[in-house]
Structure 1
Amino acid sequence: MSRTAIHDLADGMTLAQPFQAADKQLRVNRQGGKYILLKLSDRSGTIVGMMWNADETTFDTFDRGDYIHCTGRTQVHNGSLQVILTEIQRMDPAEVDQSDFDRFDANQADNNFTRLRELLATISQPALHALAQSYLNDDSFVQSFRQAAAAVSNHHAYPGGLLEHTVNMMELVRLISPRYAKVDTDLLLMGAFLHDLGKIDELRASGEISYTDRGQLVGHIVIGVQRLGEKIAETEASTGQKFSTGLRHQLEHLIVSHHGVLEYGSPKIPVTLEAVALHHIDNLDAKLASYSSIIDSDIAADGNWTNYTPSIGRKLWKGDS
């Protein structure tokens, strides 16, 4: 079935094609009428869908994650492209081409994981090197890490995104750390590896990315510290040597402080040079990925600037058209 990818949609296009229902809500407008608000997705991204004058009968015919055949037309509203739907029909998964919706790039994940191993191999501190091997020797962890997303939205919000984000940060560590003599490169590199591993269990990467029950109840920072404790115990068992309590505390601090400020979910603010560096490296990679996504998906008529984006409080320069 021929279809137009979301990132190729433009204003005023008539559509009759499959999407995946990433999210759905039945809402009531000011006049008391009901409408369906949808987040439609495919491999290339997501777009808002609206079906006016809807009711529970249509709303209940499909669930989140289902494939749905949508008939409607694209239009720009408040600077963003959306789809106004006139008909929605649930589809059997066998009716769609899965390659249109699978966002996991196995080849890219292979390349990223090869580079991850190379970067971890540069760690010379024996205890940290052994700890890294405990993670890499865990086949279940490796498989989950390869496919995990870094977020539900904002940055690296796709299968394989967490691995990409992690490798990006580790590459930045190798560039930045040698310029600061008091920064422990091995410790910072390990912190970049560990900082978001709790997202493997916080987020569900299969199908539409969403929070797991554990993710909602506990969160990736606590999960990451718990996983670290398990891996330290495994490292002690495999090496027959006690893992330094002080080093463990340093690693835990890197995980719990990497959001930088309490308001952003960090239980502690960074108080070591490595923690300060980790926070800013994390923020740099996340912001550049997020802003690049805004530029790539923008549909502003002004070729040099994006539309104003409320979440970041600005327009972004796209370059000379």
Structure 2
Amino acid sequence: MRIVINFGRVVRPGQAALVKEVVAMGASRCCAENAQNWRNAFAAKSLLRPGKLVKASRFCRACAETGRNGGIGSTRRGRFRQRPSRPPAGIARIDGRGRIWPRSLVPTDPLRPTRRMPKTKTAAEKQRTLPIAAAAIPLHELTDGQEADLFAVLSAKTTLTTKDGKPYDRVTFRDAQREVSFPIWSDAPLAAACRDEWQVGAFYKLRALYRETNYGPQLDIRRIRPATDEDRDDGFDPAALVPASRFDPEEMFAQLAEIVQEHVADEAVRELVAAVLDDNRELILAIPAATRNHHAHRSGFLEHVLSVTRTCVYLADKYTELFPDLQPPLDKDLVVAGGVLHDIGKLRELQTTATGAEYTPAGTLIGHILQGRDILREVAAEHPIDPDKLLRLEHVIVAHQRLPEWGAPKPPMTPEALLVHYADDIDAKMQMMVNILAEDTTEGPLTGNRNPMGQKIYRGPLPDGADDQ
């Protein structure tokens, strides 16, 4: 006997609409008659879903066995419970929710052949075959929730491990004004391409969703491929993706050399400082001041040193005038020379890359403070100065970061070293604060505290019309 039961909207109050066609093969007459006058659609659904209880008062055991995969256990309070066991032979899974039906109840239509699913492409194949043709939007102009095409440089990629021991990659994409760092989990579609194909320092075109999260800005990458010269028509410009100083490096170098000539009165000290600058001119013109946090852009070292030296000139003049009776007198030559040379060891601590700078082995193992003293001693061997002045100048370099946790072997122990330290510190901190105010997208009068300074910064109420910009 073959009975087709069609039931539609549930009539009982509070039950959702239930639309399903049930094909019953071999059901007993009592249940077939009951099914013809089906008023409890919810009970019908329970009959055909394993793991549910079926009221014995409504369905006989034969029908329950037919609809419950033949797995009926003991009777308790007028209900049949399915025995938890592996489905016997003849059972088929027919829906995406994992429900198990007897093959005898599986609807079949000989006129509708089974559709074969197309072969699924890998994530890497999709990236190679899907073009990205839309005009790009700069990364630093994206707002929270905006999806767009953009160009960016992969500035960092690090393999890390979760608490569960699963590896993942943390990648950093950036343009000249914004940096976005986020994880690529090992089970993500792009994990294999990230691990095997993405190269640090390479330029990419992405289609991605930009999001502001509690962990900083992130990108949900939809598509990605290497950028080519053909993308220049869509706005691809490598120079616009690598951060650089706002000022011309040649002009900054000339201004620094002029300050040395004008404000260092001792000829031996002046020649020593000029020799250090001339011997390292090319590196000084290009290298960043750091890998992150402050002046971490092309020519950032020179920009920072010039600013610190100008502040040193001001402080030396101010405190020489304020404390004319200081003994020994404040040595302006050492203050200015210390401003120029305080970070000179970074020429060996860092090396330039396509996206900024990275630490050299010597930079990692020794740091820039001791290497700065080494450079000074090497040049002083060819341009000797008074031994006491050389010692004081070495101390300026060694003590300019003041705190041991910042890498300083000694705190400032001379007035000259103290002035250079604070000139250096205020310039670095001011640059950090400027960057935070420019890049933080937190709404309200205060920025977030996930930044290099580790604190919130008050920006105040927005000026009139700022929301429209």
**TM score, norm. by length of structure 1:** 0.89
The 8 Å contact of residues 345 and 370 in structure 2, kept in 1 or not, is answered as yes
RMSD: 2.4
User: 1:47 maps to which residue?
Assistant: 180
In the alignment, residue 459 of structure 2 is paired with which amino acid? K
User: 1:281 maps to which residue?
Assistant: 423
- Which whole-Å CA distance do the structure 2 matches of 1:191 and 1:145 have between them? 16
The 8 Å contact of residues 51 and 86 in structure 1, kept in 2 or not, is answered as no
- Which whole-Å CA distance do the structure 2 matches of 1:176 and 1:108 have between them? 26
User: 1:157 maps to which residue?
Assistant: 296
Deviation track 1:272-311 (CA, whole Å, cap 9, x = no partner) reads 0111111111111111111111111010111x22122365
User: 1:248 maps to which residue?
Assistant: 390
Q: CA deviation at 1:30?
A: 6.3
| Structure 1 residues 21-60: aligned runs within 5 Å | 21-27=154-160, 35-52=168-185, 53=188, 54-60=190-196
Structure 2 residue corresponding to 1:314, chosen from 455, 461, 466? 455
Determine whether 1:11 maps to 2:147. Answer: no
User: 1:61 maps to which residue?
Assistant: 197
| Structure 1 residues 264-303: aligned runs within 5 Å | 264-302=406-444
Corresponding residue SS for 1:176? helix
User: 2:360 maps to which residue?
Assistant: 212
User: 1:78 maps to which residue?
Assistant: 214
Q: CA deviation at 1:111?
A: 2.3
Corresponding residue SS for 2:297? coil
- Which whole-Å CA distance do the structure 1 matches of 2:230 and 2:423 have between them? 43
Aligned length: 312
| Structure 1 residues 190-201: aligned runs within 5 Å | 190-201=337-348
Corresponding residue SS for 2:447? coil
Name which one, 1 or 2, has greater alpha-carbon Rg. Answer: 2
Deviates further, 166-175 or 10-19: 10-19
- Which whole-Å CA distance do the structure 2 matches of 1:221 and 1:278 have between them? 14
User: 2:405 maps to which residue?
Assistant: 263
Structure 1 residue corresponding to 2:381, chosen from 233, 240, 245? 233
- Which whole-Å CA distance do the structure 2 matches of 1:133 and 1:110 have between them? 15
Q: Where in structure 1 are there 5+ consecutive unaligned residues? A: 237-242
The 8 Å contact of residues 308 and 427 in structure 2, kept in 1 or not, is answered as yes
Deviation track 1:223-243 (CA, whole Å, cap 9, x = no partner) reads 11111112112224xxxxxx2
Structure 2 residue corresponding to 1:171, chosen from 300, 310, 332? 310
Determine whether 1:132 maps to 2:273. Answer: yes
| Structure 1 residues 82-161: aligned runs within 5 Å | 82-91=218-227, 96-105=236-245, 108-122=248-262, 123-138=264-279, 141-161=280-300
- Which whole-Å CA distance do the structure 1 matches of 2:305 and 2:157 have between them? 31
Q: Where in structure 2 are there 5+ consecutive unaligned residues? A: 1-132, 321-328, 463-469
Deviates further, 51-60 or 71-80: 51-60
Distance 1:79 1:318, change over 3 A: farther
Corresponding residue SS for 1:137? helix
The 8 Å contact of residues 34 and 55 in structure 1, kept in 2 or not, is answered as no
Between structures 1 and 2, the one with greater helix share: 1
Corresponding residue SS for 1:129? helix
Corresponding residue SS for 2:248? helix
In the alignment, residue 124 of structure 1 is paired with which amino acid? A
Corresponding residue SS for 1:200? helix
In the alignment, residue 392 of structure 2 is paired with which amino acid? Q
